[in-house]
Amino acid sequence: MIATRRDALKLAGLAGLGAGLPRGLFAAEEIPELAAQVARLQLLPDSYPQTEVWGYGGTIPGREIRLGQGQRLRRRFVNDLPQASSIHWHGIRIDNAMDGVSGLTQDAVAPGGTFDYDFVTPDAGTYWYHAHNRSWEQVARGLHGPLIVDEAEAPDVDREEVLILDDWLLNPETGQIDDSFDHPMMMSHGGRTGNYVTTNGRYNLSLPVRRHERLRLRLINASNARIFPLRLSRLEGWIVALDGMPLATPAPVEDVLVLGPAQRTDLIVDVLADEGETADLVHVGDAENFSQVVFTVSGTASQTRRAAPVALPPNPKMDRPDLAGATPLRLVMSGGAMGGMDSAILNGERMGFRELAAAGRFWAFNGVAEMTDTPLADLGLGEPVRLEIVNDTVFPHAMHLHGMHFREVSKDGALGPLRDTILVGGRETREIAFIVDNPGDWLFHCHMLGHAASGMTTWVRVT
């Protein structure tokens, strides 16, 4: 570890303290730092120059944070960036004050400033943390990392791999990140989609495995807008959790697995490939497929395979809402290119689409193209809610609810698994239901981050 000036000042301040003083009388317990920094890394192949990125701890992705269910997470966020920032702990059902949303739950941390995050992790599962101030730029520059909360009872696997899927929009001549973050074409269409796809910051990630080895794969889509369609090759797999929440029964992977922005999927997979072959996590493309991750097979874990995996232990507060007594809400998404939105409210005034576009607003929720001072709904703790989401645009949107999880309501009234992000296709209507179980002001927005920045953001209040 390289000592910094900040470290030296801390040591100097502690040097005169007596060893016998009561704990906490003069000095608080040390909080681990998590610094957002500018760094240069070899993101592209070696024939290209290093790429300037923004990373937690100066790495891509940010360092893994792992702890057990029910344990306390404490981090002092240090902003060494040229922009203000904050950290959102995506998917964790924590106290509202720790949610990290600049402008709603906290002020953005100015360059050179700090903010202490301190909360207990109630749920086991796969989560992640990322910037939540100018997130359409800061996440695209690399500000994200995995947050893993282990179950008290570990599943029967040989090992696990955390796989962060991302894409980067890079200048092919310079190898640097394209800085057109506010480009109207990206904002008004499908979002900022990169031209360089990586897993854990690598374009050619290859992992050694053994035949019949059983792995837990924690998949996290950290991209700004890319939807990852994935298929297993020479792997047999089961979905055991979605967005951190365990399924009641593991679901066999029989088709393409679709992972929208911000969504996570936990898979348990068995390696079927023979020694000397490869197994693959395949990215299914429109024109051609390619391997997102290559698993090279060397050796054999066992001569016979195990039985299908059992379900992960349930998390607390996974009750199903009472649909009959639920409060009905409706959210209509409009705008975007080819969307036919004539006008919307901005700054309290109705504006035509050209005026909205000039102000950088291309989308609207319920006819309003900005984050409002009043919530979409003012809800009571314990209240069941049914929310109809109408996508009156031609583009898909990954809708993310902070602080709580929900279940999709199918047309026959059946309830799906718990999630915190739902991918709603163009011209599609979906319905979700949830129990309002976490007090505070909670954001609800599109996780195509350019869409959120240009109109697709609202919030609910829980008291």
Residue 266 bridge partners (DSSP): 218, 241
CB atoms inside a 10 Å sphere around CB 122: 15
Q: What is the pTM assigned to this prediction? A: 0.93
Instruction: Please state which architecture CATH assigns to domain 5-150.
Output: Sandwich (2.60)
Give burial (CB, 10 Å; 0-12/13-18/19+) of 20: exposed
Q: Which residues of 357-382 are buried (b: 16+ CB within 10 A; e: fewer)?
A: beeebbbbbeebbbbeeeebbebeee
Taking only the tens place, the pLDDT of each residue in 428-441 is: 999 999 999 999 99
Query: Is it true that domain 327-462 has CATH number 2.70.98.60?
Result: no
Instruction: Confirm if 19 and 26 have CB atoms less than 8 A apart.
Output: no
CB atoms inside a 10 Å sphere around CB 37: 17
Sign of CA dihedral 239, 275, 203, 78: positive
Taking only the tens place, the pLDDT of each residue in 289-342 is: 999 999 999 999 999 999 999 999 999 999 999 999 999 999 999 999 999 999
Instruction: Confirm if 44 and 196 have CB atoms less than 8 A apart.
Output: yes
Residue 2 pLDDT greater than 80, yes or no: no
Taking only the tens place, the pLDDT of each residue in 381-439 is: 999 999 999 999 999 999 999 999 999 999 999 999 999 999 999 999 999 999 999 99
For residues 7-23, give the mean pLDDT.
34
Q: What distance in Å separates the CA atoms of residue 17 and residue 129, rounded to the nearest whole number? A: 36
pLDDT at 29: 75
Residue 19 pLDDT greater than 50, yes or no: no
Short-list 189, 179, 66, CA closest to 129: 66
Instruction: Confirm if 197 and 166 have CB atoms less than 8 A apart.
Output: yes
**Is there a cis peptide before residue 61, judged by omega within 30 degrees of 0?**
yes
Q: CA angle, 318 as apex, 316 and 320 as ends, to 5°?
A: 155
360: which 2 tokens?
């950088």
Residue 261 pLDDT greater than 50, yes or no: yes
Taking only the tens place, the pLDDT of each residue in 127-142 is: 999 999 999 999 999 9
Q: What distance in Å separates the CA atoms of residue 296 and residue 179, rounded to the nearest whole number? A: 37
pLDDT at 286: 84
Delimit the domains of the chain by residue range: 5-150, 159-300, 327-462
Residue 5 pLDDT greater than 80, yes or no: no
Residue 254 pLDDT greater than 90, yes or no: yes
Domains 5-150 and 159-300 share a fold: yes
CATH number belonging to the domain at 159-300, selected among 1.10.3720.10, 3.40.50.2300, 2.60.120.10, 2.60.40.420: 2.60.40.420
Residue 114 CA: distances (Å) to CA of 32, 36, 117, 133: 12, 10, 10, 14
For residues 6-26, give the mean pLDDT.
35
pLDDT at 445: 98
pLDDT at 192: 98
Residue 17 pLDDT greater than 80, yes or no: no
Residue with tokens 């090992």: 159
Residue 24 pLDDT greater than 50, yes or no: no
Short-list 256, 162, 153, 280, CA closest to 217: 162
Taking only the tens place, the pLDDT of each residue in 158-185 is: 999 999 999 999 999 999 999 999 999 9
Residue 15 pLDDT greater than 50, yes or no: no
pLDDT at 287: 85
* Average pLDDT score, the chain: 94
- pLDDT level of residue 71 (50, 70, 90 thresholds): very high
Start-to-end Cα distance in the chain = 45
